[in-house]
Amino acid sequence: MLHLLNAMETKQDENFTQILDMVGEFGTFQRKLVALTFIPNILLAFFMFADVFVFAAQTPYCNTSWILAMGPNLSEAEQLNLTLPRGPNGSFQTCLMYVPVAWDLDSIIRFGLNATQSCRNRWIYPESKDRSLINEFDLVCGNEPNMETVQTLFLAGLLIGSLIFGFISDKLGRYPSIVLSLLALIIFGFGTAFVSSFPQYLFFRFGVSQALVGYSISSVSLVTEWLVGEHRAHAIILAHCFFSVGIMFLSGLAYSLPHWRLLFLVGGAPAFAIIFYIWILPESPRWLMMKGKVEEAKQVLGYAACINKKTIPFHLLDELSGKKVTKASVLDFYNNRQLRKVTLMMGCVWFTVGYSHFTLNIKMKDFGMNIPSRQVIHGILKVPTQLWCIFLLEQTGRKWSLGVTLFHGLFMSFLILIFPPELTSMTVLMVLVGECSLAASVTVFFIYTAELLPTVLRATGLGLVSLAWVAGAILSLKLMNQRLTVLSSVLSFISAILALSLCSLLPETQNQPLSDSLDNYPFRKRSLSKDVTTRNAVCDDATDKVVKKNFLSTMNLDEDLFDTSLQ
């Protein structure tokens, strides 16, 4: 009986796959869906890397406007010369000033001032042309921001957001999760331009980081469940290419806009244009089926077929009514042995990628490369690297593509950690190559992870493995900032060996159907043949019904009662 139940469940999944084929593999509807998911990726890159540009270093001097009461016609240079002490090299000291006196201007010029004190009335920045967070909130002279804390807080937002939005996406649906993340992107992204203090800025950055990871998880799940075959991989790769375009967009804006508030206003304004997603974004039919919302799934599939000018046979839609409601929770990642094993292996690989990627990023800062130039170069190099993944995936599959890109990126990371620092040009080249390889591995692994996980827990699983990525990034941040190079090298080597070993144990997902529930997890080994016709499907259905009736008559079971028990 269990064999028959599994066969019937398998047949229902095949019917659903056939319906997606009837809707059209990559018609107008799918192209519009992919385009809708592309656009916000530009904003994700903008808000993710904005910190790189808004903490531009500034040279502060104490505000000594008190002397203008004695000499209102003094120039700025004369004011600084009379009120600021000079250092051994002859330049003005940045955090000290002469103690104000109640003398007239002639006495001050004649006798000069000697007693010094720390700045009392904020600071001025006469040499600065741009307005950054540094001179906006006077983050100087003992008030400097701890950049490690800023980055850790942002990563903590990614960590919490991956859990929250993973749960929301699997519990409430892909559509509500995407809409919530986009609204949060507007509130915390665009709203950053209006903060009035540095703690408020950190709070808004913490909020926007959760929106970023929430949209990434939900959009990947939605695209994975709507598209079939290689179209799924192509869509996710192109989405990551748009992310790289967003990095270049940010670099161009930051170079041309003189004020950090203008940067968030202009860069965040396009977020309002995606509010219309509320009315046009479709829900995932796979998720609807798993939640027992069969009629809604039929409506969504019918709408997609209408847009593509296709027709779905009624008998195939009728077969969907037998799909049972599937319940799952985060505890299944512990209870289900196969799911637990796959998740732990993926988490280890994600940890290694996050650790190595952040290590290379921090290493790049040591070479004093111009920040806008560095970001532009990264964006330009990552686009062809990610497009190359299309060819790699088609020729070698998911497992070997991940192994190749991961090995190349980790090998570059290891070489950089042991390479002589005197060879700067060669080291910079290896850093760039390593970052591009790891960016390619992230793209492949997003595709691979989404295909490995079942529909009922796909977003939650993506959130859990994202935790591992964030953990690796935070650990890299701590080790590199404390200059623990030897420990960092050892950990990089061990994690690389472990990650590459685990990659070989993961199952291949190319040309395999998505797993929807835990009942048939892991994958059933069958091919997604594209030449299955409606006539063959009807014959198979009729054959299954005959087998089912013969089985029930042999067991003396009522057919209606048997169907009810299946549901």
Average confidence (pLDDT) per 10 residues, the chain, 567 residues: 47 67 83 88 90 83 85 84 85 87 83 84 82 86 84 91 92 92 92 92 94 93 88 89 87 85 90 84 88 86 87 75 66 86 88 83 68 74 85 87 84 74 74 83 88 89 90 84 71 80 83 77 46 39 43 44 41
How would you class 309 by CB atoms within 10 Å of its CB: exposed for 0-12, middle for 13-18, buried for 19 or more?
A: exposed
> In whole angstroms, what separates CA 442 from the centre of its chain?
10
**In 3-state terms, what secondary structure has residue 187?**
helix
What's the CA gap between 141 and 277, in Å, rounded?
46
What is the Cβ-side half-sphere exposure of residue 196, based on CA atoms within 13 angstroms? 0
DSSP code of 293?
A: -
What's the CA gap between 263 and 253, in Å, rounded?
7
What pLDDT does 482 receive? 74
| Torsion, CA 232, CA 237, CA 242, CA 245, rounded to 10 | -170
The two counts, helices (H) then strands (E), for the chain are: 23, 4
What's the CA gap between 344 and 278, in Å, rounded?
35
Per-residue tokens: 30: 């799918």
What pLDDT does 118 receive? 87
What pLDDT does 191 receive? 92
- Measured on CA atoms in the order 39, 43, 48, 52, is the torsion positive or negative? positive
Closest residue by Cα to residue 21 from 291, 301, 394, 322: 301
| pTM recorded for the entire structure | 0.83
Q: Find residue 97's DSSP bridge partners.
A: 117
What's the CA gap between 298 and 22, in Å, rounded?
13
What's the CA gap between 564 and 466, in Å, rounded?
39
Cβ(41)–Cβ(242) below 8 Å: yes
